[in-house]
Amino acid sequence: MRDMTSDKMGAAGKRGVVIGLTGGIASGKSTVAAMFAELGAVIVSADAIAREVVEPGEPALEEIRAAFGQEVFFPDGRLDRRRLGEIVFADPERRRELEAILHPRIRARMRQRIEAAVKDGRHVVAEIPLLFESQASRALVDVTVVVYADRDQQLARLMCRDGLTREQAEARLSAQLPLEEKARMADYVIDNRRDLARTREQVRRVWEELTRGENHRPDRSRQQEGRHG
């Protein structure tokens, strides 16, 4: 964790805090990010940037074509993300190959956007699905927040949202660290297993604690409440 008391905060102490938001697939990260945005956070989404870096004309697109072939492209030249996902989630080696193409570019853009916001004192929520799986991504943030849901909830949401079979959804969940493990490593856990009002209240409490001007350090006595809710 970066030391928020360092001189990087500036003499006036106005540098914003960077909240790393993560969780499992379909645990509700985007819902929680939207709640933080309502409270004033600048949202920097790794998933949104991942879509940007494979737009037509981007260098990553041609690297993907060279690595995976024409089968992962539509006839008009756009990336067939669904087909690419089927390949990489079925083969860890191919997934690492894709990550080597995309992740450095995603992190570079995230870093630029985060720094532009926090230097002016704005607080940022960096939504990063693989936050704990990557030390380089972890270095971008000051504190970590995990959005927690039960595995059955994740599977149901993922199959409904993306039109996946249970086997495909299981493969995507298995490609990431177990959500319980992420929760153990987090500074805060948002319990998203119940109604949205309860989730929103937890988001509000975390936001108020991290932005109240007391060095942005987590209150360990209140962290990880979601796993006990």
Local confidence pLDDT in tens for the 229 residues of the chain: 444 333 334 334 578 999 999 999 999 999 999 999 999 999 999 999 999 999 999 999 999 999 999 999 999 999 999 999 999 999 999 999 999 999 999 999 999 999 999 998 999 999 999 999 999 999 999 999 999 999 999 999 999 999 999 999 999 999 889 999 999 999 999 999 999 999 999 999 999 999 986 555 555 444 444 443 3
pLDDT at 14: 79
pLDDT at 212: 87
pLDDT at 186: 98
pLDDT at 218: 54
pLDDT at 9: 42
Q: Check: CB of residue 43 under 8 Å from CB of residue 36.
A: yes
Q: Check: CB of residue 147 under 8 Å from CB of residue 32.
A: yes
How many angstroms separate the CA atoms of 84 and 64, rounded? 9
pLDDT at 175: 87
**Angle formed by the axes of helices 29-38 and 196-210, nearest 10°:** 60
How many angstroms separate the CA atoms of 210 and 218, rounded? 7
DSSP string, 106-164: HHHHHHHHHHHHHTTT--EEEE-TTTTT-HHHHTT-SEEEEEE--HHHHHHHHHHHH--
